Structure 1
């Protein structure tokens, strides 16, 4: 398991959203309690207060997001203000997966795509036939968990339909396995030439491509101002889209009170609902067309320094993780570090090497001369104590 913290670096003239890698955790107990205990222990070891946690995000595993025994529920029991948001990319993938599984034609279509790949992948001779005919994009296997990546599987066939068909026909003529030869010929002459399959190829390629674009936007730290305000409204329980319907005064005031209650802990809240309402009404009168994302808005509010409650609302929004993409990407780095040549590397050393590799920008800013001097001074003091 990996731990990532999302936070804001604030000063008078800049606002930066940062996500920092804290390390990999070796987990033996994958239950909600086991994951919670090891996460809590790790956060305390870094001196991070749970009461300061304003958002938490995980994948859609039951042990993480469970509302009764999951990690998010256990953190909420300690700090009720730690908003939980499911990973946007995981939710999008699950939606697409359910949509395709409910559609018979969708299941058949992806079944054909996988059958074509399997025929070539299960034999080096058949793969050579594929390489001789298909030059641009190699066929890809379907992924059950990352549905947006299936666009590569569909793209390879959509863009090279004639070449793939020719490769299947050659397999049908040359392969010694009668069953494989018959299946390859059937796919080439029937499925790949079927009008419905061709239309499905175009439709699913467009759907998956747009899903991939949305996922990339979700991974971005920047968000349009309008979307940011909508997200704040969702956070406080006001689900209307103000761009379409407009926000009435009574609804805005109700939303402010909901936010005050959501941020309340031990009869104290981070904001005052009436003051937030007044600030938002005043902010509406200002010229805001120059802002392209909530980071610019927060910077503007900090410079003015008379929107304290609105500033807190934006800081909470920006610190809540939208996706766990950054954490997932760290596992890609783990594959590079823990190869078969380093299979017995210790957990502490692995996390240290990962920290050096992932947070290399911080490493490059370190003054090594000063670090070496401090190390030498400590060793000199230790040696003097041993001699004395």
Structure 2
């Protein structure tokens, strides 16, 4: 006869007394079932009212939107450990923010396991039914792994859309291997090859080779395909080829300046003192990029901005440190031809970078882009650039160079400038030793030179120690 009713946790019958029930309660199988039953939601929670179900859906949508934002902005997953908590503090009256329970592990699972596959499936379904173009590029990450990025462009919902299709790690980057990878991706996902109507990439020979490039292999199968190289990359290649006409030591000069300060906080601090002394806003020296030649514009601007303070710094460095690199940079700074070349680069790169930025705009500007490029071509052809000038004609040539772009202006002399000019005429004298004696025309009774005594004494004592 059954002494106890059928248990709810285990689908079995127990026959015996209290001892048997106690012994069963300590059984590991029973304990695991108890834990599982405790985590099982009650039926009442599944049968929610419409308003409650709407609230749950709103919370899920908020979590998915947060994950989409993290993925779209390429933010670290670690941010999800604190972002939901911050939202709860910022929006205490929001029931949705209060009930978001998500950290980086859940966010990672949602992005990689749900959102990613769902979006990819949506893109693949679109590509099966519309004509599209492929935009590809090969890149190398910090771990020196080569990858192929594939982006698609097609018309959807009344507008042009660029959608990321795949990122494939590659071992060989020959044109044949890259083409086969793209072809296999289309075949594996059931995307008709005939739907491809355009191919765009950079102008590397692997991609755009006329005989064996990826674009040539596409044309063997799809004769109608439209091929477009990167215009920005073409402009970069033209600029790089033109820069080869300049002396190589000019670009190396900019790299040497950055390298001298790159790993020394003491030198950076001393440069800052020189910049303040020269009434310049303190800035660090910039690093010229090895692959993006047009970034040299910012580097040139920074060096020209701090030309005087750099001369002050390297005069001291060449004397106190007595390093060959410091003496070499000082000689270049004191050579006006280097400054002339940098001024030339500053002028030319400004014209090129403006066109390059317009080519990279997200909003279409097709009606004016051709005019911009033609205007750039005419401007460069109209200017007469020199390669080398020596002797007394250098300053005159530089002056004429800038007068090409200079707008005629009326010279207006202020009362202070007129007073200064008259003051020099009245007070300048020639001493018996043959030297000119000039008085400084201070604008105030007691001019404030700032705290320059400390720096002057510091330089003097350093020089004294050097000579002893």
**What is the TM-score normalised by the length of structure 1?**
0.51
CA distance, structure 1, for counterparts of residue 150 and residue 193 of structure 2? 14
CA distance, structure 2, for counterparts of residue 127 and residue 202 of structure 1? 25
> Contact 1:57–1:85 (CA<8 Å) still a contact in 2?
yes
> What is the 5 A alignment of 1:1-388?
1-11=148-158, 16-104=159-247, 107-121=248-262, 123-133=264-274, 136-175=282-321, 178=322, 181-188=323-330, 190-224=331-365, 226-227=367-368
> Contact 2:300–2:346 (CA<8 Å) still a contact in 1?
yes
> Contact 2:268–2:284 (CA<8 Å) still a contact in 1?
no
> Contact 2:358–2:369 (CA<8 Å) still a contact in 1?
no
SS of equivalent residue, structure 2 residue 346: helix
Deviations 1:144-165 (A, max 9, x none): 3211111121111011112222
Unaligned runs of 5+ in 2: 1-147, 276-280, 376-468
1:8–1:229 distance in 2 versus 1, CA, 3 Å: farther
Shift of 1:141: 2.3
Shift of 1:228: 7.6
> Contact 1:126–1:171 (CA<8 Å) still a contact in 2?
no
Shift of 1:133: 4.0
**What is the TM-score normalised by the length of structure 2?**
0.43
> Contact 1:17–1:221 (CA<8 Å) still a contact in 2?
no
1:34–1:149 distance in 2 versus 1, CA, 3 Å: same
> Contact 1:53–1:81 (CA<8 Å) still a contact in 2?
no
Query: How large is the RMSD of aligned CA atoms in angstroms?
Result: 2.9
Shift of 1:196: 2.4
1:149–1:46 distance in 2 versus 1, CA, 3 Å: farther
Shift of 1:62: 2.0
CA distance, structure 2, for counterparts of residue 199 and residue 164 of structure 1? 16
1:225–1:148 distance in 2 versus 1, CA, 3 Å: closer
Deviates more, 1:77-86 or 1:219-228: 219-228
Deviations 1:123-160 (A, max 9, x none): 45434434554554321222232111111211110111
SS of equivalent residue, structure 1 residue 214: helix
Shift of 1:38: 0.9
The structure that is helix-richer by fraction is: 1
SS of equivalent residue, structure 1 residue 69: coil
Shift of 1:172: 2.0
